[in-house]
């Protein structure tokens, strides 16, 4: 039998305790989204687990139940912020914003990963926390569903990239669409595959510009030889 996450890791920490997780670090497009969730340990939805392991329908159903019975907050970092401060710090920023969005200050925060944001609050990072800690798993569900819905909305504005299904991850479909359709304002210019396209376009524009300058600087005699002109 697979081992499911529980409240075992939360025991011993003061309440209210918030679990924090993010979604969308690896995609080539869209923001990174984080969620913070404080569960009522005596009344919570059954079946909470790492969002990546849950079928879509179950994940959506759990999301609906979590946001009804728990304290929760969502934060994000934009594509511009990702490209400016890099994805690591954008992830930290999104998690900080998620905790601030709770509307109350938790006594302790458990964060999925190997590091916590640089905030002034008691916290602990747990590697693989979304598969071990129920509070973090709940946050992973809220973060993923929130981001998935956002990417589905963006897919309506920018069709052809498959964001309604690949969520901006570098799938074969998405890479092919990048080559055929080009970049959108929602693509992360600091990510390798996208940066390669930016560089290639810049080189093409430079070559075209140099070619145009070369043509404009060449002498034009309108079909007359120098001798005829004299």
- Mean pLDDT across the stretch 170-181? 94
Indicate the pLDDT class of residue 6, thresholds 50, 70 and 90.
Answer: confident
pLDDT of residue 202: 76
pLDDT score at 220: 42
Q: What percent of the chain has pLDDT over 70?
A: 87
Start-to-end Cα distance in the chain: 97
CA distance 221 to 218: 10
Task: Give the SS3 label for residue 142.
Answer: helix
Q: Can you give the pLDDT at residue 201?
A: 75
| Rounded mean pLDDT, 187-201 | 92
- What are the strands, taking DSSP E only, across the chain? 17-23, 32-38, 71-77, 108-112, 123-126
pLDDT at position 216 over 60: no
Q: Is the pTM of this model over 0.85?
A: yes
217: confidence class by pLDDT, cuts 50, 70, 90: very low
In tens, the pLDDT along 77-95 reads: 999 999 999 999 999 999 9
DSSP state string for 57-75? HHHHHHHHHHHHHSEEEEE
- Say if CB 101 and CB 73 are below 8 A apart: yes
Residue 114 binned pLDDT confidence (cut-offs 50, 70, 90): very high
Task: Find, among 53, 51, 52, 47, the residue nearest to 65 by Cα.
Answer: 47
Q: Extract the tokens encoding 208.
A: 């075209």
Long-range own/partner contacts, residues 58-63 (CB < 8 A, 24 or more apart): 59/141, 59/144, 59/145, 60/145, 62/138, 62/141, 63/141, 63/142, 63/145
Residues making up the chain, counted from first to last? 230
Q: By C-alpha distance, which of 44, 17, 8, 30 is closest to 141?
A: 44
pLDDT tens across 35-46, in order? 999 999 999 999
Between 137 and 205, the more confident residue is 137
| 108-112 vs 32-38, strand pairing mode | unpaired
Domains within the chain, CATH numbers bracketed: 1-215 (3.30.420.10)
């Amino acid at each position: 039998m697979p081992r499911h996450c529980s409240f075992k890791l939360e025991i011993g920490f003061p309440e209210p305790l918030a679990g924090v997780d993010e979604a969308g670090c690896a995609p080539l497009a869209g923001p990174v989204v984080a969620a913070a969730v404080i569960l009522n340990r005596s009344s919570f939805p059954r079946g909470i687990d790492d969002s990546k392991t849950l079928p879509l329908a179950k994940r959506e159903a759990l999301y609906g139940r979590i946001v009804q019975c728990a304290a929760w907050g969502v934060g994000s970092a934009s594509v511009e912020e990702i490209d400016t401060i890099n994805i690591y710090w954008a992830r930290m920023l999104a998690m900080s914003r998620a905790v601030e969005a709770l509307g109350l200050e938790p006594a302790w925060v458990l964060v999925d990963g190997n590091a916590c944001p640089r905030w002034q609050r008691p916290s602990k990072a747990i590697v693989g926390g979304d598969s071990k800690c129920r509070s973090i798993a709940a946050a992973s569900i809220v973060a993923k569903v929130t981001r998935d819905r956002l990417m589905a909305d963006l897919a309506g504005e920018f069709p052809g990239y498959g964001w309604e299904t690949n969520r901006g991850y570098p799938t074969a479909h998405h890479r092919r669409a990048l080559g055929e359709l080009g970049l959108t304002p929602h693509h992360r210019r600091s990510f390798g595959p996208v940066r390669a396209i930016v560089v290639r376009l810049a080189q093409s524009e430079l070559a075209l510009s140099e070619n145009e300058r070369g043509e404009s600087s060449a002498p034009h005699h309108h079909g007359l030889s120098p001798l005829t002109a004299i």
